[in-house]
Amino acid sequence: MQSCCRSQSADAAADHDHRSIGHDHRLPDGSLRGGTGIRISRIARLLTNSVQTAGSRMYVVWVLILVRHAMPAHGPDTPARDWALAPEGQVAARSLCGRLPTGARLVASSEPKAIASLGPAGNVVQDPRFDEISRAEVYGETFREQRRAYVDGADHIGWEARDDVIRRFEAGVVEHIAAADGRPVVIASHGMAMTLWLTAAVGLDDPGAFWADLRFPDAHVVDIVAGKVVRFLRP
């Protein structure tokens, strides 16, 4: 669907709070490989078709922004995937949407809090490939420790395999980049799923620290070719 998002210009993306980025791994066939060994050559090829050259340097003119949803109204009586935005989350979502690129393709997971985080910007395409990881989790005080351990590589019984999360997320990114036909792509997703894919795509040095630092909402510009993730939103 087309976006009717209003925004300021790209100077909103000039926040230089760079995340810790790993190495640009290249396979013998020239494709890129992130920290978990996933091949992202399809994305790289799409990006290669969307660059301008100036001398020996390449300047990406295509934009991917990953959004972590705004604050939900959470509690033990409702499954996490069904949480709606809290009042303060609704306010923050409106502020976020006012700063996104005009004309972007807006995509969100199938979870209400992610859809509502982009809703003020215009029509949102729903895609369950960007849902948070499926998990058997008890609502309580230890959830942050469990989630950070998971993105750092710990296996929990009943939690979705990390490679499965990365594969579905990557497939969604590739499809929506192609569908956008050069327009910016904004994807609203969730902390753990985003962190896993970014670790695979650009090689985050410390996935747990990246996840723990995510805000409600948060947004990062992703440059896969350069292997960079830059926070889009200023505090």
In the chain, where are the structural domains located? 10-231
- Residue 62 confidence (pLDDT): 64
Residue with tokens 């729903």: 126
Question: In the CATH scheme, what is the code of domain 10-231?
Answer: 3.40.50.1240
The pLDDT-based confidence of 27 (bands split at 50, 70, 90) is: very low
Percent above pLDDT 70 for the chain = 72
**What are the CA-CA distances from residue 187 to residues 24, 41, 66, 211 (Å)?**
23, 20, 5, 17
Q: How confident is the model at residue 182 (pLDDT cuts 50, 70, 90)?
A: confident
Q: Is the pLDDT of residue 3 over 80?
A: no
Q: What is the mean pLDDT of residues 177-191?
A: 94
Question: Is the whole model's pTM more than 0.75, yes or no?
Answer: yes
Instruction: Tell me if the bond preceding 217 is cis, omega within 30° of 0.
Output: yes
pLDDT tens for 188-214 read: 999 999 999 999 999 999 999 999 999
